[in-house]
Structure 1
Amino acid sequence: MNLKFEDITTIDEKLSKRHIDLDPGGYFIIFIDREASLICAKHFTNIIDDRGLAIDPETGKPIPAKGKVERQETKIFTARTAKEMCVKIFEETYPCPVTMLDHAAYLGREFLRAETALLTGKEYIQD
C-alpha cells in the first residue's frame, strides 16, 4: 500500500490531538527568519506542577497553551538546517534543555517542517 499525502496529513492531524506530558526542561517557540534564511528556536524554562501544568518560575502562574505570552527566553538557538539545530541543542548545549525523549523527537520533526517551509517559501506554524 502506498501512502498518499492526504493519508499522511490525516495521520498527523490525529496524532497532534493526543495527550503529551510537558518537559520539565522547558519548551521552545520555533519560527523561521526568512531574511537570514535561519530556523530559530526560543527556549523558555518552566516548572511542571502536580496537575501536569507548565508554571512560569517567575510568577508561579500557569503558562497558557494558546494566545500570546510575554516571557523572556533563556536562549535563542539559530541554525541553517534541522540537523544543525538538533546538533546545537542536543549535542553542544550542556546541560541539554530537553529532558524527555518524546520532546526531542517532536522538536526534530518540527525543525524539519521549519526547514522545509524555509526552502519552499511556504508558511511555517508550529504544531
Structure 2
Amino acid sequence: MNQALADATAIDQKLSKRHIDLDPGGYVIIYLDHEQGLICAKHFTNFIDDRGLACDPETGKPIPIRGKIERQPTQIFTGRTAKELCVQLFEQAKPCPITLLDHASYLGREFQRAEAALLSGQEYVQD
C-alpha cells in the first residue's frame, strides 16, 4: 500500500469513530442486490429520546445497534448508481426523509462505496 493510500485510510478510520447526532428523520440500511445489479436503501423512521437514543415510534423502545430487527421500512430506494439513489432520496422523495446535512453527506459517501463494490463484484458492508 502506498503512503498516500495508507494516510487516507487512517484518516477515514479515525473519522468513522467520531460522534454524530442521530437523524430524527430516521435511518437508512444500505445493501447490494448483486443479482439485479442494484444498490438498495431501506429507510426506517425513529424518534430520538432525551438520552439521544434512536427509538422505535411504535414501541417507544431503543433500536438496537446490533442484531436483526423486525421492522418495516417506510420506503425502499433502489438504483444502479450512487447518483441515481441520491436523486431519488434527496430530490424526488417528498418530503425528503433525511433531515440532517451530515446524515445526507454520510449517505452520499456510503452510496459511492456501495456503487464501487457493486461494480467490482465485491461485498459491501455499511460503515
Q: Classify the TM-score, shorter chain.
A: over 0.9
Distance in 2 separating the partners of 1:6 and 1:63: 35
Structure 1 SS opposite 2:103:
helix
Q: Deviations over 1:69-121 (max 9, x none)?
A: 11111111000100010000000000000000000000000000000000111
Gaps in structure 2 of 5+ consecutive residues = none
Identity of aligned residues (%): 72
Alignment of 1:39-54 (within 5 A): 39-54=39-54
Moved beyond 2 Å, runs of 4+: none
Give the aligned CA root-mean-square deviation in angstroms. 1.1
Look up the match of 2:33: 33
Gaps in structure 1 of 5+ consecutive residues = none
2:79 counterpart letter in structure 1: A
Look up the match of 2:81: 81
Structure 2 SS opposite 1:4:
helix
Q: Deviations over 1:25-75 (max 9, x none)?
A: 000000010011000000000000111100000111000112211111111
Look up the match of 1:13: 13
Counting matched residue pairs gives: 126
CA gap 1:92/1:122 in 2 versus in 1, 3 angstroms: same
Look up the match of 2:124: 124
Look up the match of 1:66: 66
Residue 122 of structure 1, CA deviation: 1.3
